[in-house]
Amino acid sequence: MSGVSQPDLAGSIGIGNFRPAQAVTVGLKLERYAPGAALRPYVQCYWQARWQGGGGKSAGMELLHPDGATGLLFNFGATLERDGERVHGDCWIDGPKRSTARLAVGTSLDLLGVRFLPGMAFPFVGDTLSALAGEGLTPGDALRRLELDALHERLWRTPDLAERLALLDEYLLDRLRHSERVPSGLMASLGWLQRHHGQGSIAALVDELPFGQRRLERLFQRHVGLSPKRYARLLRVAHSRELIKQSGATTSLTDTAFAVGYFDQSHFIHDFKAVTGFTPGGYLDHVQRRYGRQAQQ
């Protein structure tokens, strides 16, 4: 494959699918921040999710859609509730997910996170990403060399947000200096899949690579934590979600399925539900019920 292109997934990150924070007076407020220039090939964003305003509004649920990426998560509020279970601890590695997580949101929510680009967490985590894949959070002390508990303590003692972000920059840059480079073949493969929105066969991708499918599979297990096929499915479902949000009921779900490369409606429904927990029609109802004509999640 000639040339290496960096995937651009900033518009489809899982945590970024929280509702926007504009004009929030009471309720969830999410803000995203760019890392320093040296980290931008690796880090999608830093983000902060907090409850803003009074405590009279009831808690809700936010969807965290998977994008094949890994993150770091630091909690400064009460115990998290995710997918109906309480998650104890202060910091975690949020490994690559295969399906949408559901986060309970209430007045005690106070989270700070790092979201890596898909395939770009290995230099910082230093562990095969497939070992971190799954639907749960990996406690920070599971990988002691990361010293996430110590980092959480430093962040806790530094309530100023700008100083917290500077600490994250410093921490990640230090780990980057002592890490191996991300293979260019992996970066090219991720870019190819992203540009095709997960459509096109893995065989077609391999035809453009200077190595075979077995090597591609090993790269993805080590650096992404998902197989190329499963990662491609996440991209296809993410693309279909965006189309549903943009067009609402004005475009049939059959046309949406065709637009994202599904020629079998049952296959589209199966994949969509496996990832999001909704059927396509159920997701459309959810969006319209919650946001009306202006879909935002």
Question: For residue 262, what are the contacts with CB-CB under 8 A and spacing of at least 6?
Answer: 236, 268, 271
Report residue 45: phi and psi, to 5°. Answer: -170, 160
Look at residues 268, 212, 265, 264 and name the one whose alpha carbon lies nearest to residue 239.
Answer: 268
Look at residues 291, 262, 290, 289 and name the one whose alpha carbon lies nearest to residue 275.
Answer: 262
Domain at 226, CATH number: 1.10.10.60
- On whether residue 230 sits in a domain, the answer given is yes
Query: Can you tell me the mean pLDDT for 143-148?
Result: 94
Query: Can you tell me the mean pLDDT for 3-19?
Result: 40
Query: Can you tell me the mean pLDDT for 228-247?
Result: 95
Q: How confident is the model at residue 247 (pLDDT cuts 50, 70, 90)?
A: confident
d(C-alpha 165, C-alpha 157), whole Å = 13
**Crossing angle of helices 184-195 and 213-223, rounded to 10°:** 90
- On whether residue 74 sits in a domain, the answer given is yes
Are 97 and 189 contained in the same domain?
no
Are 40 and 110 contained in the same domain?
yes
Name the domain boundary from 177, 193, 216.
177
Range of the domain at 51: 15-177
d(C-alpha 282, C-alpha 253), whole Å = 11
- Percent of the chain whose predicted confidence (pLDDT) is above 70: 87
Are 230 and 146 contained in the same domain?
no
What's the pTM? 0.88
Please tell me the predicted confidence (pLDDT) of residue 290.
75
- On whether residue 9 sits in a domain, the answer given is no
